[in-house]
Amino acid sequence: MKEKYDVVIIGSGLGGLVSAVILAKEGHSVCVLEKNNQFGGNLQTFVRDKTIFDTGIHYIGGLGKGENLNRYFEYIGIMNGLNLKKMDEDGFDRISFGDDGSEYPHAQGYDNFIDQLSGFFPDERENLEAYCTKIQQTCDSFPMYNLKIDGKYDQAILSLNAKETIDSVTKNERLRAILAGSNFLYAGIAEKSPFYVHALSVNSYIQSSWRCIHGGSQITKLLIKRLKENAGETYKYREVVKINSEENKVTSVVMKDGSEVFADIFISNIELKTTLEMVGEDKFRKAFFDRIKSLEGSMSAFSVYIVFKPESFPYINHNYYHFRDSRDVWSAHDYDEDSWPKAYMASMNASGQNDVWADGMTFITYMKFDDVKAWADSHNTTAEKSDRGESYESFKQRKVAKFLIEIERKFPGINNCIKSVHTSTPLSYRDYIGGFEGNMYGYVKDSSNPMKTFIAAKTKLDNLYLTGQSVSVHGVLGVTIGAVLTCSEILGKDYLLNKIIKHTE
């Protein structure tokens, strides 16, 4: 590692790596510092019983030719290297309820989306068309989402509530639940979640939905390959603990081992509250610092990773969002010991283009950080190991047993197919991904106070910038666009967007 770079990036999540590649392509010397053993943040994968599992990226939208994420990835130089499997076009997501034997599809392509649900609700076709129009109009209000330089940003869109907007489309309670059924994608809260978050999330999947064969870490590997081709550098086990500044400018970062590195520009891709603490409260306006400290983290999760016995459980080319009751669609996060888990997402990795049998399956449900607060002082990563003790293991075993009962109800016989079961809790997400209290999607966005969670990529300090899901919209597409926005603050918005548009025309 050199003593001085043009750009130092703290954290190797998607936002940090995309920023690094873009700036390295522009001739900057770039260094990425990662505290853990594995690069990639939410793109990380892990292996249990020779089976690959994704940490956070279970499917990706918008990768079809000419679609938004495809164009961004084309410019960054990773699109052609991706090994992808297209999901079921007639239902990439299936919404199901414990009180109803049907499985309601979310299909790829807007016409197909309408056709598939109209088969269940023939009297609702016009309302489904209105819903789809509303989704597309909302997405059109975000120029960067559609790679437009001269588009108009409609700030009024930010105040639309997701539940209220979906409910306004139809009076059919079951259809309302189905349209909102994938709100696990953004940890939907009835009274808070904005409709634009819903629209930006589901639109890209309706465009096209894909699984990464052998997991999402391939995105990380491709980004690092492109970065190194442009003379960029990456370092593991380099945990930044302090950000030094003089007057109104960051001068260097200090790592846990005491080493120091200098740069002209610094980009933080780590948790926002942690970034501010490392810089120091006195370096920011009090109102800004207090606002960031008061932000509410989105819900965390408890995940069960099942490894199947060979050729025992068929591969399923779609996801499930399953609710015990259709009334739980907006309240699955509001549980107690007896009612948990009210809902879950079920997904599996693809190991090839023509999978017949599944290697493993992931089940994710909500879990509050308070549920694991008794062990909050312990930290477990490949770089730092703590023994959380028998009580923690007992807690996980109880939760697994209860979760498996719910899973068996939806998938009769699945327990007989299990070779081994593995878990992650909010502490796992906190330690390996770095989110505040293990949150899945950054901070809670509130339609009644949209500007509270608006975080500019450029900070008050002259050369400190921010990126990642704590700053922008979460998800692969949201974080990628956020990284482009961060880089456009450095390179010039029109300059960078014109380059991307010209490259992908």
- For the segment 102-121, the average pLDDT, to the nearest whole number, is 98
Q: Tell me how far apart the alpha carbons of residues 294 and 311 are, in angstroms, rounded to a whole number.
A: 50
Residues contacting 423, CB < 8 A, separation 6+: 302, 303, 304, 305, 396, 399, 400
pLDDT higher than 70, residue 259 = yes
Residue 23 has pLDDT above 70, yes or no: yes
Residue 432 — very low, low, confident or very high, per pLDDT cuts 50/70/90? confident
Alpha carbons 203 and 200: distance in angstroms, whole number: 6
Confidence of residue 149 (pLDDT cuts 50, 70, 90): confident
- What pLDDT does 387 receive? 78
Report the C-alpha gap between 441 and 443 in whole angstroms: 6
Question: Is 470 a residue whose pLDDT tops 90?
Answer: no
Q: Kindly report, residue by residue over 210-237, the tens digit of the pLDDT.
A: 999 999 999 999 999 999 999 999 999 9
**Residue 284: both structure tokens together:** 């920011």
Q: 473 pLDDT exceeds 90? A: no
Tell me what the mean pLDDT of segment 269-283 comes to.
95
Query: How many angstroms separate the Cα of 154 from the Cα of each of 67, 452, 470?
Result: 22, 17, 22
Which pTM was predicted?
0.95
- What does the pLDDT average to over 143-166? 86
Nearest to 10 by CA among 27, 35, 40, 43: 35
Question: Is the C-alpha dihedral spanning 341, 372, 473, 27 positive or negative?
Answer: negative
Residue 383 confidence class, pLDDT cut points 50, 70, 90:
low
Report, as an integer, the average pLDDT of 322-335.
96
Tokens 């809670």 sit at which residue? 444
| 187-203 residue pLDDT tens | 999 999 999 999 999 99
Domains and CATH numbers, the chain: 4-83+213-295+447-504 (3.50.50.60), 85-208 (no CATH), 299-440 (no CATH)
What pLDDT score was predicted for residue 386? 72
User: If you average pLDDT over residues 5-18, what whole number do you get?
Assistant: 98
- Alpha-carbon distance values, 275 to 81, 241, 428 (Å): 33, 9, 20
| Interval 477-494: pLDDT, tens | 999 999 999 999 999 999
Write down the pLDDT at residue 156. 86
Dihedral angle at the C-alpha atoms of 218, 220, 221, 224, nearest 10 degrees? 160
423 beta partners: 304
Whether residue 390 has pLDDT greater than 90: yes
